[in-house]
Amino acid sequence: MMTAPVPSKRKPPKIDTERAEAILACAGHLKDLRQAHAAPPADVRVCMTRIPQFLPPVPVSSYCTSPAQLCAELAE
């Protein structure tokens, strides 16, 4: 008496080479774009004025009761 082979519960791995190749090509292209745009082009003038790194925080609580006084305080 021969018994039939027991089917495996695992699915065979998916083979989708076209999709995998497209994903790899896109990743390579994005890497090239990031490298190309890391610095400005050589023929473009770049303003070298620095932007202030620190801005004072807005006061959380204030003694002002009117919106006009609060605006004046925040402007200082």
Whether the CA torsion 29, 31, 37, 42 is positive or negative: it is negative
Give 73's contacts (C-beta < 8 A, 6+ positions apart): 59, 62, 64
Residues in the chain: 76
The more confidently predicted of residues 39 and 31 is 31
Q: For position 55, what pLDDT does the model report?
A: 65
**Amino acid letter, residue 14:** K
What pTM was computed for the model?
Answer: 0.35
**CA distances in angstroms from 37 to 23, 44, 50, listed in the order given:** 21, 13, 20
| pLDDT at residue 2 greater than cutoff 70 | no
